Structures are given as structure tokens and as C-alpha cells.
A and B are shown apart, each in its own frame.
Chain A
Amino acid sequence: MRKFKDNVLNGLLWFSAFLTVAVLVTIVGYIFYKGYRLINIDFIFGDYSPSGHDGGIWPMIVTTIYTIVISLLIATPIGILAAVYLQEYAKQGKLVRVIRFATESLTGIPSIIYGLFGAVFFVTTLKLGMSIISASLTLTIIVLPVIIRTTEEALKVVPRSYREGSLALGTTKLQTLYKVILPSAMPGILSGIILSIGRIVGESAAIFLTAGTVAALPESIFSSARTLTVHSYLVTQESGDIELAAAIGIVLIVVILVLNFATTFISKKLNKADY
């Protein structure tokens, strides 16, 4: 009886795992199958063309890079310093609890809400208009908790003995921080940053409502523009061109893949740094 039950359960386990893998492989496979024909140099580096299929995605790549760079430029220092505060400076108490709650809540908010917020706060109230900067600021808030969290984790595993060792030599906290603690936490912090890049690259709803959909090479960060992911959405939506959407999807998946390898690589390095 027990044996039978065991076998059934065992079968279910294998089946579920198979199903998961199969579904996910199908999705990635489908995107590649549908899109690979369009991938070529002209597609990647070519200019957008209003007639669709024969145009390239270079403006969207540039816009995507813009949003990544600007959001990280703002979110990374703030996030790291915030984590430093929480881990190294703050006394456990109400304030820390409030900050933690806020960070955690921010992680759970759906991006459409960020979009709504960005649209009224950055676009309208701060008069930044539909622009790369509005989108980047919205994205900053989205990735801030990611960076804070991963940095906190990285700081947590820096041995206490490093701090004591340094402070016992009569150095200040600040010196200890940037000479000893941050360097040892760096690999962890880096993987947090990479995680954030993934989040920025994959975001659509929040960008759609804050950067708009202009399909041209952005003039400046105050230009309205279209990121890769938004492009892939609009292409599906407006022209129903699945092949084109899938081709953009391939580019996105490759980017995510590269980011993932980078994370693994860095965290491997982290382990080496321990010895």
C-alpha cells in the first residue's frame, strides 16, 4: 500500500518536473523558432522604420541602455549606503523596522502601480514629461529595494572579525567601511546590481506609462523613447507582428542569459575571495 503510494508520488514528482521544464523550454524554444530569421546585423544596429518588419531596433537598444545606466547611477549609491546604514549604523529599533517594512513593501508592488505613480509624480508633478528620465527615476524606485536587500545580505556575511580587527587599530567606521567591509562585500553587491539590470530590462508597464512610445533614437534623457521590452509589447499589440516581437524577445533573452552568467561568475569569485 505504502509502496504503491510512494510510486504514485514519485511518478508525480518526475512528471511535474518534466512538465515545468517542458513548458519553459517550449516558451524559449518558440520565441527562438519564431524570431531567429529576423536576427541579423541590420536588425540590431538598424534604425527603426515605421513600416515595421524591415526596420531595426537600435533606438530601443540605446533607450534600454540609457534607462539601465541612469537608474543604476542613482539607485546603486543610494541603495548601498542605505544597506550600510541598516547593517552597520542603525540601532535595531522602530526606525529600522519602518525602513525594512518600506523596502519590503516596495518589492511587492506591481509595476503597473509604479507606472501610475511615475506618470503622475515624475511626468506631471515634476514636469519631466514622458521621458527617459521619468522612466529611469521610476525604475530607480523599483530596483532600490533589490539593491538594498542584496547589499545587506552581502554585508551580513562579512565576518565581524574584520570589523573588530580594523576598529581595534584605531580606524574610524568610515575607513573600515570602505577599506575592508565594502571590498569584501563587493561580489554580493555586484550580483545585486546585475539582478537590477535584469529587472530594468524586463520592465514594461512602468516604462510604457512614463517614457512613452517614441520609436526614435533619443536626443537626450528628456526625450520620450521606447525600450526593447516596450517595443516588443507594442509590436505585438499594434501590428500583431509575432515574428518581430519574438526576434526582440531573443535579444532580451540573450541579455538576461548573459547577466545570469555574470552573476554566477561573480558569486564564484566571491567564494574564492574567502580563501
Chain B
Amino acid sequence: MSTPPIKNQNQEVEKSNRMKYMLEKLSGRLFMLCALLSVVSLVLIIGFVFYKGFHPFVTQGYSFIDFLFGVDWVPSEDKFGIFPMIVASVFATIGALIIGVPIALFTAIFLAEIAPKSLAKIVSPAVQLLAGIPSVLYGVFGLAVIVPFLQNNLGLARGQSLLAVILVLAIMMLPTVVTVSETAIRAVPKTYREGSLALGVSKIGTIFKVVVPAAKSGIMTAVVLGMGRAIGETMAVILVAGNSLIIPSSLTDSVRPLTTNIALEMGYAAGTHQEMLFATGIVLFSFILLLNFVLAKISSKGGN
């Protein structure tokens, strides 16, 4: 081989290599900084929301217990109790799960196991697409269709109710729960199905006794994600909840969940009132963090 140009300029090469190592180091640092940015964001968010939210309890002598368990929310009279809202959020979420999860799960099973391929190929992406529709539109639909429907057909005095919230949330979490659990079900190894079918077990039997249990952790993830969506949803709920300040005793009561309390009054609030809305945010935040924690637990279990 003729004199190779690469080896020729040995010294220069070494110099340029040193440059390269420098660049390597620098870029590595830069990349790390970028990655740390999400940590910074999270810390900032937690920091600011908690700082603002705890302010009245730390410096102004409001009692956090009264805040959590108080039943009166009259900002203009300095009464800040969010117990009705906590109850509303919890009920709304549970209700939405009770209605939404079975339907979503059955739909996912249907799409993954039963539906003819051609059908599943149309329906699955369509359902996914719906996960992307702005939640406001679900609210518009709820306000314009579900609320009057409940009013007229159940003979309610007000259609804005816990039930309306539950229905809207159940609908909204369908796409998420369907899509995630469908993926989980599809990921169950074919060998499980074959093993069961080879024992002369029917297809449906196989699905419910082997496939779904095997996809358990994925399905749980789906449920927790759906739950997160339900607890955190704001703009759709605000339109159908009625936002009354009562502890709901029936499905037909109108309610004010935590999220809507913030969105409803944030614009109008100042001073302690505003800080109390941040405190509401803290409570909401804690619910979500708890859920995330549960989710992390589930997925680490699923990994094993």
C-alpha cells in the first residue's frame, strides 16, 4: 500500500485527537446538563407550588388540618376548607374507574384477541387518536349533551353533577386505558395461549384465565394512568361539575373537584386566596405523586 495519508501526519493527528477528546468531555457535560434540566424543572415546580401553598400555614397561622378537613370554602370570608373537594375528587375518580375500566379493558381484550384483524386495524388507531383530542372538547360534549341528557332523562334539577363528571371522565380515560392494556395483552407470549388451547380450553376461557392474568401488571399500569388522567383533568370537568361547595351524598349532587377549584378561582384570586389555591394544588400533587409511586412499584414488579 502507498504511503497512507492518515499515518503520515502523526503529530497533527495527535493534536486533533486531543481536540476531539476535549470536545467529547465538553459535550458529555452539556448532555448531562440537559438531562438534569428535567430534575431542575421538577424541583422548581415542587418548590414553587409548595412554597406558595405552605405560606399561609407557616407564616399566617392557618391550620393545615382545618384546611384539609374544613367544609367551608368562602375565600372572601377567609374560610378555606377543601374537604368537600377532596371527597369530590376521590368519588369522581373512583366512579370513573368503576365505569371506565371494565369497558376499556373489555375493549382492549376484544381488540387484541377477538376482533378480526381488519377490524382491529381500524379501531385501535381510531381509539388512540381519541387520546389526543383536547379535553376541552370532551367538556363541550359533556356540557352540551351529557348534562341536558341527565337533566331530562333522570328528572334531575341540575344535570351538572357528580354523575356527569364521572361519565365524562370515564369516557376520557377510555383511550388511554384501552391502548395501554391492549399493548400489554398483545405482549403476552403466544406460548401461553397455545399451552392453554392445547389443553382443550376454549378461547374465551384461555383469555380470561391465562392471558389477562399474565398481562396483569400492564393492565394495572393502564388503570393507574387512567386514574391519573381522571384526578388531574380540569377543563372538561369544570364545565360539567356544577362546582357546588357541598360534600356529595349522592351521584346527582353537583360537586367541585380539586382541579376545578384551582382553575375556577385562580384568575380572580389574590393574596391568601391565591396561596390557598396553591395549597389545593399541593393536595392534588400529593395524590398524583402517590399514584406515580404506585405505578413505579407496579412496573418494577412487572419487570421481574
Chains A, B in direct contact (C-beta < 8 Å): yes
Is B38 within 8 A of A144, CB to CB?
A: yes
Most buried by B among A98, A101, A233, A264: A233
Question: In the assembly, what is the distance between CA of A72 and CA of B23, in Å?
Answer: 26
Q: Which of B128-136, B191-199, B247-255 contacts A (4 or more CB under 8 A)?
A: B128-136
Taking the nearest CB of chain A, how far is it from the CB of B283, in angstroms? 11
Whether, in the assembled complex, B222 has its beta carbon less than 8 Å from a beta carbon of chain A, the answer is no
Whether, in the assembled complex, B94 has its beta carbon less than 8 Å from a beta carbon of chain A, the answer is no
Q: Which of B26-34, B71-79, B154-162 contacts A (4 or more CB under 8 A)?
A: B26-34
Whether, in the assembled complex, B246 has its beta carbon less than 8 Å from a beta carbon of chain A, the answer is no
Is B140 within 8 A of A246, CB to CB?
A: yes
Is A119 within 8 A of B134, CB to CB?
A: no
Q: How many residues of B contact A (CB 8 A)?
A: 85
Taking A103-B38, A110-B284, A232-B140 as contacts, is the C-beta distance between A84 and B48 under 8 angstroms? no
Taking the nearest CB of chain B, how far is it from the CB of A27, in angstroms? 5
Is B139 within 8 A of A233, CB to CB?
A: yes
Taking A12-B106, A24-B174, A117-B44 as contacts, is the C-beta distance between A111 and B234 under 8 angstroms? yes
Q: Which residues of A contact B128 (CB under 8 A)?
A: 260
Taking A82-B38, A84-B31 as contacts, is the C-beta distance between A14 and B114 under 8 angstroms? yes
Is A110 within 8 A of B234, CB to CB?
A: yes
Question: In the assembly, what is the distance between CA of A14 and CA of B111, in Å?
Answer: 9
Most buried by A among B30, B31, B123, B292: B31
Is B281 within 8 A of A31, CB to CB?
A: no
Q: Which residues of B contact A89 (CB under 8 A)?
A: 28, 31-32
Whether, in the assembled complex, A157 has its beta carbon less than 8 Å from a beta carbon of chain B, the answer is no
Is A242 within 8 A of B284, CB to CB?
A: no
Is A2 within 8 A of B28, CB to CB?
A: no
Taking A113-B281, A121-B44, A172-B20 as contacts, is the C-beta distance between A98 and B125 under 8 angstroms? no
Whether, in the assembled complex, A205 has its beta carbon less than 8 Å from a beta carbon of chain B, the answer is yes
Q: Which residues of B contact A168 (CB under 8 A)?
A: none
Q: Which residues of B contact A10 (CB under 8 A)?
A: 114, 204
Taking A17-B110, A23-B174, A264-B125 as contacts, is the C-beta distance between A116 and B49 under 8 angstroms? yes
Whether, in the assembled complex, A163 has its beta carbon less than 8 Å from a beta carbon of chain B, the answer is no
Q: Kindly identify, within residues 43 to 97 of chain B, every residue whose CB is under 8 Å from any CB belonging to chain A.
A: 43-45, 48-49, 52
Q: Which residue of B lies closest to A227 (CB)?
A: B134
Is A86 within 8 A of B136, CB to CB?
A: no
Q: Kindly identify, within residues 244 to 269 of chain B, every residue whose CB is under 8 Å from any CB belonging to chain A.
A: 259, 262-263, 266-267
Is B132 within 8 A of A256, CB to CB?
A: yes
Whether, in the assembled complex, A174 has its beta carbon less than 8 Å from a beta carbon of chain B, the answer is yes
Taking A9-B208, A108-B228 as contacts, is the C-beta distance between A20 and B134 under 8 angstroms? no
Question: In the assembly, what is the distance between CA of A27 and CA of B41, in Å?
Answer: 36
Most buried by B among A2, A10, A16: A16
Q: Which of A20, A110, A112 contacts B103 (CB 8 A)?
A: A20
Is A198 within 8 A of B132, CB to CB?
A: yes
Q: Which residues of A contact B187 (CB under 8 A)?
A: none
Is A252 within 8 A of B31, CB to CB?
A: no
Q: Which residues of A contact B141 (CB under 8 A)?
A: 27, 30-31
Taking the nearest CB of chain B, how far is it from the CB of A105, in angstroms? 5
Is B129 within 8 A of A257, CB to CB?
A: yes
Chain A interface residues toward B at CB < 8 A: 2-3, 5-6, 9-10, 12-17, 19-21, 23-24, 27-28, 30-31, 34, 77-79, 81-86, 89-90, 98-99, 101-106, 108-117, 119-121, 125, 141, 144-145, 148, 172-175, 198, 201-205, 208-209, 229, 232-233, 236-237, 242, 245-246, 249, 252-253, 256-257, 259-260, 264
The 7 sampled A-B contact pairs (Cβ below 8 Å) are: A17-B110, A24-B174, A27-B130, A30-B144, A144-B38, A201-B134, A233-B235
